[in-house]
Structure 1
Amino acid sequence: MPHSFLSINSITVRYLNNTLFTGLNFIVKKGEHWALIGESGSGKSALLHTIAGRFNITGGAVDHYFFDEFVKDHGQPETLLTYHQLVALVEPKHHFRNLSNTADFYYQQRYNSSDSEDALTVEQYLATVKPTHGKPVYWTYEKTTTLLKLGELLQKQIIKLSNGETKRLMIAAALLKNPALLLLDSPLTGLDVQTRAAFNAVIDEIIASGVTLIMATSPYEIPAAITHVAVLKNGAIIQALPKELFNAELFLQNDKDEVDNKELKALLNEGTNKIPYQFIVKMNKVHIQYGEKVILDGINWQITPGERWALLGPNGAGKSTLLSLINGDNPQAYANDIILFDKKRGTGESIWDIKSKIGFVSPELHQYFPTDNSCLQVIESGYYDTLGLFRLSQKTKADTALRWMKALEIEQYARVLLKNIPASAQRLCLLARALIKNPDLLIFDEPCQGLDAHQQHHFKTLVDTICSMSNVTLIYVSHYQQEIPESVTKVLRLERGKNIS
């Protein structure tokens, strides 16, 4: 019978004023690798943080047998070693710091050349990561960068990485610590089709090196090397079984999804006084380059009112940079032939004029959005295009924000600080923030990241309903074909900065 690797015994876990787990039991044997499955807010991320030692346990006990075995085999080093140093957690959000280490990165920093220089390159960042236990290691710098295909990115500043490239870097940094236990929270989020397809091989090699793996993931994206599945609901493990006995189809939620069309129509008619435009976007031979690196090469793109576009391409293809030119975040727009809302960039319009006509959400916006406002305040800030509400709330606007929260099924979080709700609910708050002012253009960059199956389906239905009721223009980015709304009829596909469709 396999020896125990980790044993969680009837623990109670509290965070802030919330009880996350009561009487929770979870046992991992040597040679087992677990997938955590569950709806948004079920406790998957909280369990990973608990295992990593991030939350206080107020009752019960956790036995870290893997740590006892390590000390038995290697001895206690001169510097005090705890189990924490044998655990690596890869979260959905990164925690990179400026090169000067004086402040966190901010949202638009990657597009401002002088400020983006205040960032480590991938090579420099990985050089700061050392094994925590000082023993002979398997995961060397060369082996790790090869496995995660980081060779071409080594001289790139981390602030300029795409969402998927950042995820690969975070996994590489975790491996360089040479942990006994690797915890991955939604590791496939933001990865393109090719990288997701290769992920099984990555997991196989990690496990073959002797690392035990526990990961939170979708029931439809469980790697082949995973041996067991735990299903969570409302902070409890309701099933724990070998993977071959787990049926993802039984996990599918069959609840009927309904959108209140009458309420949605009323919300879409609020404050509408649309100006007719000939072009929402018109780009002519757009070229973006940083040093020797060409990001966009000769892009031509015309978007007229009411068109719904999918913007597709692998990680690092230039999609986020292209969107930054439209959303007013990239100063290189002034050096290119770009017309937005019938005005050529550089003819007197301000960034705020542009942003007032756009509802925008992206993984990067979620990464850098301040979290100390209540969810209701975050959504109301969409009226002003600010990253948070920096003025007194207006009751009529707050009431509309709450109505949008109800439309997205997150009204229970209205008075809760953004940082204290599940990541999926945070993303839905930012989606409501993008919708609240009924903009002429919606830009949804991977909007379904981290949402569970019901949330994804509900949001997709909501977008299609909005498109059927209005003449809103839409740009939609996703690495998953099934997430793209039915209302999308046009496609721009990028590869290595070039338009290939």
Structure 2
Amino acid sequence: MFNMLFSINNATVRFLTNTLFNNLTFKINKGEHWALIGESGSGKSALLQTIAGRFNITGGTTNYYFQDDVPNLQVAENGQNLHSKLISLVEPKHHFRNLSNTTDFYYQQRYNSSDSEDALTVNDYLLSVKSIHRPGTQWTLDKTLTLLNLHALRDKQLIKLSNGETKRLMLAAALLKNPLLLLLDNPLTGLDVKTRQEFTGIIDQITASGISIIIATSVHEIPEAITHVAVLKNGKIIHESTRDAFNPELFTINTSDNIDHQELTALLNINKNPVVFNQIVTMDKVHIQYGDKIILDDINWQIKIGDRWALLGPNGAGKSTLLSLINGDNPQAYANNIILFDKKRGTGESIWDIKKKIGFVSPELHQYFPTDNSCLQVIESGYYDTLGLFRPSNKERADIALRWMKALEIDRYARTLLKNIPASAQRLCLLARALIKNPALLIFDEPCQGMDDHQQLHFKNLVDTICSLSNVTLIYVTHYQHEIPNSVDKVLRLDKGKMVN
């Protein structure tokens, strides 16, 4: 046991009424760093949550040997276990609170200047992290800011961070705890190409400081510092090996795909909008600024009906702000020369007039979307552009929602609450919600985050099929070139708020 860090033996793991694992056995020795791989819903995130002590464990034994390595460690005031103070878990979603610490942030808050002031800055948030002083390398604020390239963001409010910037901040906060065990749940999602390329060096520095890592990731993105690999399937660990002995070709996910063109054609003809627009989007010298910070500068962009655009650029380039001007979420649209669906902003149209013509999904929408509706209700809410279904379900529309779920291969979750399904399936529900009303414009902002290879391919093929069967207009945002649908033939690149070639 001297070299062992953690072990769980023949345990049953439950969350609410669901049994997540039966006879779970998993052991980690000091100096080992593990990658967890497997298809969506295989149990990777659940295993991380189990190790972090988030779920109810019955039967078997669970041992955290590393807490003996830190002398004089005290139990926290809330009575949490000693080991939890030495574990940091970086989840796909953040749990930021506002300055009054009474309510969570809400979806559109970042674009409303008065409301967005009710948020900590990056610097204040990191200073609030409670660290453990233990033998070995200490992660100081300056060291952490430097490693994760956050110095320039110190005075930025949390709510105004991009998705990728938020990911870096969450990792920084986890390091500042000075944990002995760092759990990372798909940390590369949302990160731009440059940061992903730097990630191996980041992991190398973390492991060199004496921190052990367990990372849930894609088989294609296993960091070099990883020493061991565990493969999960249907809530079971089906394979364990050293990194050197691991053969990824034996565990590639089935990427065969089949699209029901006849059913998709029928779905696309439901509630088909007969109105044809000359200009979907026209932006003329658009400028967005918050205080002294320029977010967008001199943006000129024209999107015609049937155009299929990729919107590309690094984290913090201004992509989400640009989309918020189109989707009706940003009030600064009124101060700019912007035409949406043949109408200039500020000439009498409401936000709801705009939203009913758009199907939209983004990491921010996923972050803030309420999760207490069933998946079928979530998708039906797309008819009303509300964050959840706040009216009695309409049987005809619910039936259509179920057909879209079948098209996206998630119909088994129809009656399950959104919060109780895998994150990748949650995203697919929100994508079905965007598609259900057959809008004139689809805006997909990093839609494939967290999806496995088959899900990504199926969604990409679905988008291409929709584009071949209809005249829908598309804006597609991603940091992965292979995710871009084949139907996309136009590109707008942003960097530091400016259009670049």
TM-score by length of 1: 0.98
Residue 489 of structure 2 corresponds to 489
Letter in 1 for 2:174: A
Residue 85 of structure 2 corresponds to 85
Deviation at 1:135, TM superposition (A): 7.2
Letter in 2 for 1:473: T
Residue 333 of structure 2 corresponds to 333
SS in 1 for 2:94: coil
Q: Residue deviations 1:451-497, cap 9 Å, x none?
A: 01100000000000000000000000000000000000000000000
Residue 239 of structure 1 corresponds to 239
Letter in 1 for 2:50: T
Residue 282 of structure 1 corresponds to 282
**2:477 matches 1:477:** yes
- In structure 2, relative to structure 1, the CA distance for the partners of 1:76 and 1:476 (3 Å cut) is closer
In the aligned structure 1, how far is the partner of 2:419 from the partner of 2:135?
Answer: 37
Q: Residue deviations 1:95-133, cap 9 Å, x none?
A: 000111121100000000000000000001111002145
Residue 150 of structure 2 corresponds to 150
Letter in 2 for 1:89: L
Deviation at 1:35, TM superposition (A): 0.3
Q: Residue deviations 1:61-95, cap 9 Å, x none?
A: 1111111233xxx2344867611100000000000
Q: Indicate the RMSD between aligned Cα atoms, in angstroms.
A: 1.3
Q: Residue deviations 1:397-444, cap 9 Å, x none?
A: 000000000000000110111011110110000000000000000000
Letter in 1 for 2:311: L
- In structure 2, relative to structure 1, the CA distance for the partners of 1:278 and 1:263 (3 Å cut) is same
Letter in 2 for 1:190: G
Residue 291 of structure 1 corresponds to 291
Residue 59 of structure 2 corresponds to 59
Alignment of 1:19-418 (within 5 A): 19-70=19-70, 74-77=71-74, 82-132=82-132, 138-418=138-418
Letter in 2 for 1:148: L
Letter in 1 for 2:340: L
Kept in 1: contact 2:75–2:82 (CA 8 A): no
In the aligned structure 2, how far is the partner of 1:78 from the partner of 1:99?
Answer: 27
- In structure 2, relative to structure 1, the CA distance for the partners of 1:485 and 1:78 (3 Å cut) is closer
SS in 1 for 2:60: strand
SS in 1 for 2:244: helix
SS in 1 for 2:405: helix
Kept in 1: contact 2:110–2:116 (CA 8 A): yes
Letter in 1 for 2:39: E
Q: Residue deviations 1:153-181, cap 9 Å, x none?
A: 00000000000000000000000000000
Kept in 1: contact 2:273–2:440 (CA 8 A): no
Deviation at 1:246, TM superposition (A): 1.6
Letter in 1 for 2:72: G
Residues matched between the structures, number: 498
In the aligned structure 1, how far is the partner of 2:251 from the partner of 2:274?
Answer: 44
Deviation at 1:137, TM superposition (A): 5.9
In the aligned structure 2, how far is the partner of 1:417 from the partner of 1:433?
Answer: 15
Residue 442 of structure 2 corresponds to 442
SS in 2 for 1:245: coil
Q: After alignment, is 360-369 or 241-250 more displaced?
A: 241-250
SS in 2 for 1:334: helix
In the aligned structure 2, how far is the partner of 1:332 from the partner of 1:20?
Answer: 46
In the aligned structure 2, how far is the partner of 1:76 from the partner of 1:465?
Answer: 58
Unaligned runs of 5+ in 1: none
TM-score by length of 2: 0.98
Deviation at 1:2, TM superposition (A): 7.7
Deviation at 1:5, TM superposition (A): 1.1
Letter in 2 for 1:322: L
SS in 2 for 1:253: coil
Letter in 2 for 1:498: K
Letter in 2 for 1:369: F
In the aligned structure 2, how far is the partner of 1:118 from the partner of 1:78?
Answer: 32
Residue 426 of structure 1 corresponds to 426
Residue 458 of structure 1 corresponds to 458
Unaligned runs of 5+ in 2: none
Kept in 1: contact 2:109–2:115 (CA 8 A): yes
In the aligned structure 2, how far is the partner of 1:253 from the partner of 1:222?
Answer: 16
Deviation at 1:255, TM superposition (A): 4.9
Kept in 2: contact 1:85–1:133 (CA 8 A): no
SS in 2 for 1:437: coil
In the aligned structure 2, how far is the partner of 1:52 from the partner of 1:394?
Answer: 41
In the aligned structure 2, how far is the partner of 1:59 from the partner of 1:488?
Answer: 53
In the aligned structure 2, how far is the partner of 1:447 from the partner of 1:336?
Answer: 28
Kept in 1: contact 2:309–2:491 (CA 8 A): yes
